Homo-oligomer: A and B are copies of this chain.
């Protein structure tokens, strides 16, 4: 089964459990709405690709790790879009969770998705690989340096840019590569650098899209960094400078892939994935 099917099926199984008998109907609907239809599922794809490169021996474990990461990503989108943060009315080309279901249900859907991520691991991961996966994934999400901490930096008067971006964007990419390795029984730590570099590349690409794209194309509001005075690589380095930085990061990411059985296949997957990061408007920009 292809990666995308495995991810979607594992997500479907998880949300079906959460929507089981006794579930309040609005919450049950909001959980499905927050997950489907997905975006590019970049993080769970990365997790599966690394697991494959490490000689994936237990497909169910890798799929559970990938789905857990995507559930946490969906939770963070539901919470980040709330009026007290980005107050974004659209996401993935449709009303955001709170725009559709109201703030209370959006907040609770995010909470339930966080819980569901760990419940999914407990249900599907064999005992000898569960603790490393819960540790890696919780570190990528919580305090002190996960995506929740990244969002919390936006509440501080002074924000160290590197800490902010590493936590807000990079942490879940690091979680994806390390969890992919751990799901295959490989040592996770050598996979940290790949996650860091891909996370930074994704951040630069996101900054470029925020400046270059329109809202229809992006499926969410644009110009948000300027509106919220958040740092933006395209503003700081110029469009050409940011494009060059993105190219450097993609190359550095590929170079950082540890020696493993499926190294060349993984390089190809990462090249295909990262080529999608470049907004098509960049074709008109000189390198």
A interface, CB within 8 angstroms of B: 17-28, 31, 75, 79, 82, 84-85, 102-105, 107-108, 110-112, 114-116, 118-119, 121-123, 125, 127-128, 130-131, 134-135, 138-139, 141-146, 148-149, 151-156, 163, 167
The minimal Cβ–Cβ distance linking A211 to chain B, given in whole angstroms, is 25
Q: Which residue of B lies closest to A30 (CB)?
A: B152
Q: Which residues of B contact A142 (CB under 8 A)?
A: 18, 111-112, 115-116, 119
Complex CA gap A167/B28 in Å reads 14
Given A27-B149, A104-B84, answer yes or no on A112-B79 (Cβ-Cβ < 8 Å). Answer: no
Complex CA gap A114/B118 in Å reads 10
Complex CA gap A130/B126 in Å reads 10
- B115 and A155 within 8 A (CB): no
Residue from B115, B116, B138 in contact with A119 in the complex, judged by beta carbons closer than 8 Å: B138
Given A131-B127, A134-B134, answer yes or no on A148-B22 (Cβ-Cβ < 8 Å). Answer: no
Copy count, this protein chain: 2
Complex CA gap A138/B79 in Å reads 20
Given A27-B152, A105-B152, answer yes or no on A22-B118 (Cβ-Cβ < 8 Å). Answer: no
- A115 and B138 within 8 A (CB): yes
Complex CA gap A153/B75 in Å reads 19
Q: Which residues of B contact A139 (CB under 8 A)?
A: 119
- A122 and B112 within 8 A (CB): no
- A115 and B151 within 8 A (CB): no
Q: Which residues of B contact A102 (CB under 8 A)?
A: 155
Q: Which residues of B contact A18 (CB under 8 A)?
A: 142-144
The minimal Cβ–Cβ distance linking A276 to chain B, given in whole angstroms, is 29
- A115 and B130 within 8 A (CB): no
Complex CA gap A116/B128 in Å reads 21
Given A107-B82, A112-B143, A142-B116, answer yes or no on A131-B135 (Cβ-Cβ < 8 Å). Answer: no
The minimal Cβ–Cβ distance linking A189 to chain B, given in whole angstroms, is 16
Q: Which residue of B lies closest to A150 (CB)?
A: B24
